Chain A
Amino acid sequence: MTRYLNIAVILALIGSAVYAYTIKYQTAFRAEQITKTKLEIKAERDAIAVLRAEWSFLTRPARIQQLSERYLDLQPLTVDRLVVARQLPERAARVDAIGDKIETLGLGVASTPAADPAKAPTTPKSKTKAAGH
């Protein structure tokens, strides 16, 4: 009896030792991973800083102006080309020119049903789509 108990205790000891070491090595591994990721983040941040600098260098107004002068036919915007939306003329009433023509030709309303937006087929709602999956 005592012998079995001893064996069990020894096994438990070995087991706990193994477990403790696994935890220890895992911790070390994770710590290493964290350090590595931190370094990677730093490298990425540095790279982002370089890219940001490069982006603002390439899109600097002086360069854009030079390029547009060389390759584009665009003219600088002058003040007289700016109009406030309110100053635009009112939109004319919508005229269905084709419909009128069909009407005068006598091919009237009866043959083609009026477009009713409510009856128009619609794509299924995303909600039902989600439910299907």
Chain B
Amino acid sequence: MTTMDATSAKHAPEPARGRLASSLRGFVARAFSTNIALSGTRIRLIAFVFFSLYCVIAGKLVYLGFKPDPANLRRAAAAAAAAARPDLLDRNGEILATDVKTMSVFAEPRRLVDKDEATELLTAALPQVDAKELRERLASKKGFVWVKREVTPHQRDEVFHLGLPGVGLIAENKRVYPNGPLAAHVLGFANIDNAGIAGMEKYIDGQGLADLSGAGFSLTPQDLQPITLSLDIKATQALRDELAKGVEHFKAKAGAAAIMDVNTGEMIATASMPDYDPNTPPDVHDVNLINRLNVGVYEMGSTFKALTIAMALDSGKVTLNSRFDARGTLNFGRFPIHDYHAQNRVLTVPEVFTYSSNIGTARMALGQGVEKHKAYLRKMGQLTRMRTELPESSEPLVPKNWGELNTATIAFGHGLAVAPLQAMMAVGALLNGGYLITPTFLKRSEEEAKKDAPQVIKPETSEAMRYLMRLNAEIGTAKRVNVPGYFVGGKTGTAEKVIGGHYSKNRLFTTFMAILPADKPKYLFMTVMDEPQGLPETGGYATAAYNVGAVTGKLLERVGPILGVAPRPTPALPFPLLAKQGYAFANTPAQGGGGH
């Protein structure tokens, strides 16, 4: 630039034009003469040259300062590369999801010398890359484009040895799920940029992780605290295994199972069939792969009878000794309510429960009235969308015009469709002493869980419900879960599915709830199946006791030891509150039988 100025000064407009030109010529002549008297002019010239030089430099600096940032390769690569995510651990510290480093190939199209040659060489080294598409990408004017994400070590070496200028390798984080489909619906999955797409992965992004990486903080795995979930991976494996076997055996369309700690609301294990492997993310819109526990809504059938009986007992109008007429049918205009195990006599409350009497529970709900029934179900969280950490959830299907008939049918679990996990929360509240605890997938303590949990029913009612569940396992429809040594209680539920506006006799949705142990409630087991089939060994029956009941029985026996539940002799006084109220019969083992 110096020479430029000097020459422009030297070759200033030669033809003399006016005073300016002649004075300039004089200035130049004086500057380059050797006359010592003129050194002052020379010094001024030098000063001028240096001054203009510094002006140019300063100008350039200002220009550079205002120029938009030239695409910094390192930054572009860091922004494009998959960010680190915290590990997900199970409650015992086993890894459920973690990051591993993989290499990805990128290119800087502006620095590529020969784009055709580069395309040819790269597609030879990376056969999965489409040549035409790659050529288009390399032809773009971007500073940074991906050639291929997540290459194998062998491919990485090959690309490295090509030695193409403008083609580079960068380490990226890849999310791996070592347990494959285990608890896949809870974990969700992350996409190729390591952004959470579903499940807990999406939840932790919502907790500020996405904002941090979005703001340009490149997080290292050391910055991220692992997140401990409530799941127990060994119990989850046992659960999924038994459920998968059950779904296959009974040729069900779908199934789901879960274990919840009723005192903390922690989900210990969950499974939903069919499921998927989060390592190869599935189509998120495939309705077949939804989590049946919290996305699917179903009419829960007789499981709801537990809710109805608890409502009746809690109101104080009904006691365990109350009797309900279950003779014949209960008619609502053209709509008759039958009993599946019809006894055609007057039943006590425990009998209503163990024979799973539709008429008895319908009468109980009608005794409370429509408004009270509605308010009670709202209090139990059955009429509003339940929100857990999982981003996926469903609104319950509540009848628009809720009349007496609705109350009568909802009393035994038809006409109100809820997510199974929602029903589980309510049943958990019936059993744990009356605290409605929203299920969680994060580890938490009992104090934390009960801090905000409303007391929805009295502790005595809760104990009566545990007694009824226990009785049902001893002599009722839940005998299949009566594992000796474990003081188990259970309730079956069989709902007829609505097909084309009518309840279908042979398309069933079966549910099973079991509490372990019934005197000091800890674990609530739930198994549901969509359209299980009757088999020769079940006498063609497809009701809950034969399929989900059998599965839950096996599950209890298998998972009990894993969860550290020790067998013990039958407790002498399992239900002290009931004994105080004068129901001495509750504490003696039941004899005889009913149901199947």
Question: Interface on A for B, CB 8 Å cutoff?
Answer: 45-46, 49-50, 52-53, 56-57, 60-62, 65, 76-80, 82-84
Contacts and interface: CB of A to CB of B under 8 A. Distances in A.
Contacts of A60: 178-180, 182, 233, 237
B566 A82 contact: yes
A50 B557 CA distance: 36
Contact of B237 (A46, A65, A77, A82): A65
Contact of B233 (A50, A57, A61): A61
A79 B100 contact: no
Interface stretch (B21-29, B327-335, B406-414, B481-489): B481-489
Contact of A52 (B98, B180, B566): B98
8 tightest A-B CB contacts, nearest first: A61-B237, A57-B178, A56-B178, A56-B95, A46-B101, A79-B485, A60-B179, A79-B567
B486 A79 contact: yes
B179 A79 contact: no
Contacts of A84: 566-568
Q: Secondary structure of the A side of the interface?
A: helix
B166 interface: no
B486 A61 contact: no
Interface of B: 94-95, 98-101, 171, 176, 178-180, 182, 221-222, 233-234, 236-238, 241, 483-486, 557-558, 560-561, 566-568
Which of B100, B238, B241 has the most chain A CB atoms closer than 10 A to its own CB?
A: B100
A84 B238 CA distance: 23
B234 A80 contact: no
Contact of B98 (A49, A77, A83): A49
A49 B99 CA distance: 7
Contacts of B568: 84
30 contacts: A45-B222, A46-B100, A46-B171, A49-B98, A49-B101, A52-B95, A53-B95, A53-B98, A53-B176, A53-B178, A56-B95, A56-B178, A57-B176, A60-B180, A60-B182, A60-B233, A61-B233, A62-B182, A62-B237, A62-B241, A77-B561, A79-B483, A79-B484, A79-B486, A79-B560, A80-B484, A80-B485, A80-B567, A82-B566, A84-B566
A53 B238 CA distance: 21
Contacts of A57: 176, 178
Contacts of B560: 79
Contacts of A53: 95, 98, 100, 176, 178
Nearest to A57: B178
Given A79-B483, A84-B568, A49 B100 contact: yes
Which of A52, A61, A62, A76 has the most chain B CB atoms closer than 10 A to its own CB?
A: A61
A83 B566 CA distance: 8
A67 B560 CA distance: 22
A39 to B, nearest CB: 11
A82 B561 contact: yes
A49 B173 CA distance: 11
Which of B171, B182, B485 has the most chain A CB atoms closer than 10 A to its own CB?
A: B485
Contacts of A78: 557
Contact of A45 (B98, B221, B237): B221
Contacts of A52: 95, 98
Contacts of B485: 79-80, 82
B126 to A, nearest CB: 22
A23 B541 CA distance: 88
A19 to B, nearest CB: 37
Contacts of B182: 60-62
B100 A61 contact: no
A83 B179 CA distance: 32
B425 to A, nearest CB: 27
Contacts of B101: 46, 49-50
A44 to B, nearest CB: 12
A88 B221 CA distance: 49
Nearest to B240: A62
A2 B176 CA distance: 78
